Structure 1
Amino acid sequence: MSCDIYVINLASSLDRKNNIQAQLTKLGLQPHFFSAINGHTEQHPLFSMYDDKLSKKYREKSLSKGQIGCYASHYLMWQKCVDLDHPLIIIEDDALIHSEPFLEFIEKTSTLDKKYECIRLFSNKRKNYCSEVEQQFSSTSICKFNKGHMSATGYFLTPNGAKKLLQHSQRWYMAVDIYMDRFWVNEVECFGTIPACLTNDPIFDSDIGYGKKPPRKLFARLKREWFSVKELLRRETHNFKYKMNHKVK
């Protein structure tokens, strides 16, 4: 295997661990298991990086304890990728693997790290997005997306990509998957596979626990919408510059 696979798994979630282990073993793959940080029961030093005031300022809500633990778990995996100094495939334990495209992707990983810093291995969950094929394989293709995927179920990550995610992640104020989607901020371009190499297994509910959404006042809703508009403008400006730069090349 040309790329190590790490599965993020809560110690208490044995059914998830057994399920993903069985899937990977069936494919002849042996993963490493990383003990996820439980935001509901632990007080991890990384939690100090969460800025609740900033979260409320821009998003008009706080992250749940589960979301903070999830962020910390992925953050530690980014650090591990840098420490090991080679690409990793990082998967959450509720993934359902599509065998053919996943195995083909695994075979190609040794040739991918020079061109791509991060490749999402799951379907884009946005309602509307555009994608352009960058590299075609027989069972799947790598595409450039104009919008992020709204998930962190599984992705290929290089040390350079991990360094950028860490560098721009000094204060946490949104969920980790939404932060990863902000490629105009973290400088890690949004690539993914079509068709997807994996998805969320429907037999499992999320371990994160999003909590009850409090009702928002009109001013809060307007403030959140204004933040969304600014994000849209920044994203589209970045996408336009990316297209122009690559046309020149």
Structure 2
Amino acid sequence: MKIFVINLSRATERRARMQSSFEQMELEFEFFDAVDASLPMDHVSVYNDKKRVHRKGSGLVPGEVGCFASHYLMWKKAVELNETIVVLEDDAVLSDEFKDVLENHIPRDLLEKNGYLRLGKGTTNTPKLHVQDRVYKYLKWPASAAGYIITPAGAERFLKHTEHEWVDAVDNYMDKDYLHGNYNLGIEPELLIQNDHGHSFIPGRERKKISLGRRLVRNFYRGRELLMTQLANLKFLLEYKLLNR
């Protein structure tokens, strides 16, 4: 599998760290130029800020839009190559067993069936269900796009629901398995953690206080998302025949 690391060309420290990590593991990889939020982003105009503000109470900052666009282009890359690829963000810190698990212990049948497999998660206490070997189904939102394996079919499912517009940060969109059909499956123990080393390239994430009305609308959509997630979990249990094991 080809490995791509999403990296802003000006993020030289991150680039050097990732280069060193892969050299130590003797793994080949390629840098993929991230969409730079400091430059015009006409090609990501499908981000719907009005709908985002209505649903969440605040919009995405430019860096979050650029981050989504970068992953979107990686999904297109998987389809264009017609290959399963590994996608990493440049603040991912890889575990010592990253290479061994990637080369020898990925359940290919399960990966092909599902479309993608997370290599790390953002929320440490995410409830999960054991599926097979080291693979778990996350029952809530793992909230990280720092590293994952994706097949062309999985990429097409992600692209299908973002071709005309998107409203979420990329990790939140990927969490919505009820929407795109790529179940949130991940490797445990994780093969990476996310660490920006105090140098975030997505400034302005701090959210401003919002009105009571906007909070009520946000809570409505959050409750609906949680309900849809639980329904997707039930669908997964039935599809993978895990209810009575």
Match of 1:229 in 2: 223
Relative to structure 1, is the Cα distance of residues 247 and 109 closer, same or farther in structure 2, using a 3 angstrom cutoff? closer
Distance 2:223 2:156 in 1: 28
Please report how far the alpha carbon of residue 143 of structure 1 lies from its aligned counterpart in structure 2 after TM superposition.
Answer: 1.4
Q: Which deviates the most, 222-231 or 121-130?
A: 121-130
Residue identity over aligned pairs, in percent, reads 30
1:144 and 2:147 are equivalent in the alignment: no
Which of these residues, 73, 92, 108, is aligned with residue 70 of structure 2? Answer: 73
Name the SS for the 2:74 alignment partner: helix
Q: How far off its partner does 1:201 sit?
A: 3.0
Name stretches of at least 5 consecutive residues in structure 1 with no aligned partner: none
4+ long deviations beyond 4 Å: none
Structure-2 separation of matches of 1:96 and 1:90: 13
Q: Return the TM-score normalized by structure 1.
A: 0.90
Distance in 2, Cα, partners of 1:248 & 1:212: 40
Task: Quickly say closer, same or farther: Cα 1:25–1:116, change in 2 above 3 A.
Answer: farther
- Output one character per residue of 1:13-67: Cα deviation in whole Å (capped at 9) or x when no partner: 111001011001110112100010111x211233211101110121111000000
- Is residue 102–residue 198 contact of structure 1 (8 Å, CA) maintained in 2? no
| Residue correspondence of structure 1 range 44-63 to structure 2 within 5 A | 44-63=41-60
Q: Which residue in the other structure is 1:43 paired with?
A: 40
Mark the CA change 1:194 to 1:95 in structure 2 (over 3 Å): closer, same or farther.
same
User: Bigger shift: 124-133 or 232-241?
Assistant: 124-133
Q: Give the partner amino acid of 2:112.
A: K
How far has the Cα of 1:228 moved from its partner? 0.7
1:160 alignment counterpart: 153
Match of 2:186 in 1: 192
Alpha-carbon distance in 1 for matches of 2:234, 2:85: 30
Distance 1:6 1:110, change over 3 A: farther
